[in-house]
């Protein structure tokens, strides 16, 4: 009879739990969007000259790095052609003052800046950087729990797996990295958006494995 080798696999004990981390991100800038309406001759094909006029007007409105895109060009009743463009820039939060009047003043004959709109969301690059910090916060929380579980169970544990960005089915907006975004208000007047920050939070599923 041939001897058979028996291999006993160790039992891997695991502990699973969730942790939540959150950060407050100050809104130091805002995104401003405007419509630009320009009247040009039907024979005018000098796009660069029109773009230069638009850049000068936008600089008078708010001195910033503007991005523009042409949305339509139609014939106007005056015999000219009506060119509509969209302008977008991210500017310091302090620029959010009297935008409609400033747009009117920055306009000129044949070129109007109108309908300024403000988006208060934190810039995408800032959100990504703060979300990465949440990862570190979660790992530190997990390590703190390891010390607690070591003492409670009399065994040694290590991090076996972490799933960042567990969806909690709650209301709210989520970033591509699964950080939940919501407004955080300070002070008694919650309608004053200039005094708000954005709160980002993340839930993670942590699995601990026992050491042999």
Residue in the block written with tokens 């007007």: 57
Query: pLDDT tens digit string along 53-95?
Result: 999 999 999 999 999 987 788 877 777 888 999 999 999 999 9
Q: What is the CA radius of gyration of the chain?
A: 28
Query: pLDDT tens digit string along 123-167?
Result: 888 988 999 999 999 999 999 999 999 999 899 999 999 999 887
**CA 33 to chain CA mean position, Å:** 16
How many residues make up the chain in this entry?
212
* pLDDT at residue 166 in the model: 80
CA-CA distance, 205 to 15, in Å (whole number)? 11
Q: Are strands 29-40 and 81-92 parallel, antiparallel or unpaired?
A: antiparallel
**Residue 83 token pair:** 């060119």
Phi, psi of 198 (to 5 degrees): -110, 130
CA-CA distance, 7 to 15, in Å (whole number)? 25
Phi, psi of 5 (to 5 degrees): -85, 125
**CA 58 to chain CA mean position, Å:** 25
| Cα 173-174-177 angle, rounded to 5 deg | 165
Provide the β-strand partners of residue 109.
Answer: none
Query: pLDDT tens digit string along 160-205?
Result: 999 998 876 555 565 555 566 566 544 444 444 445 788 889 999 9
SS3 42: coil
* pLDDT at residue 178 in the model: 53
**166 within 8 A of 21, measured Cβ to Cβ:** no
Query: pLDDT tens digit string along 9-21?
Result: 455 689 999 999 9
- The string over 9-29, giving b where at least 16 C-beta atoms fall within 10 Å of a residue's C-beta and e elsewhere, is eeeeeebeeebebebebebeb
């Amino acid at each position: 009879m041939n001897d058979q080798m028996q291999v006993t696999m160790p039992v891997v004990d695991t502990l699973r739990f969730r942790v939540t981390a959150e950060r407050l991100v100050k809104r130091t800038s805002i995104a401003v969007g405007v419509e630009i309406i320009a009247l040009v001759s039907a024979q005018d094909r000098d796009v660069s000259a029109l773009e230069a006029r638009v850049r000068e007007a936008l600089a008078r409105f708010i001195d910033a790095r503007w991005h523009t895109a042409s949305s339509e060009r139609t014939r106007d009743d005056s015999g000219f052609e009506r060119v509509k463009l969209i302008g977008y820039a991210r500017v310091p939060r302090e620029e959010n003052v009297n935008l409609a009047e400033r747009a009117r003043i920055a306009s000129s004959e044949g070129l109007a800046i109108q309908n300024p709109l403000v988006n208060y969301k934190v810039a995408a690059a800032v959100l990504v950087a703060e979300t990465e910090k949440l990862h570190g916060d979660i790992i530190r929380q997990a390590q703190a729990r390891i010390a607690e579980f070591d003492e409670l169970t009399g065994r040694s544990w290590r991090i076996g797996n972490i799933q960042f960005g567990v969806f909690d089915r709650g209301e709210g907006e989520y970033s591509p990295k699964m950080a939940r975004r919501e407004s955080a208000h300070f002070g008694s007047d919650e309608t004053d958006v200039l005094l708000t920050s954005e709160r980002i939070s993340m839930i993670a599923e942590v699995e601990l494995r026992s050491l042999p």
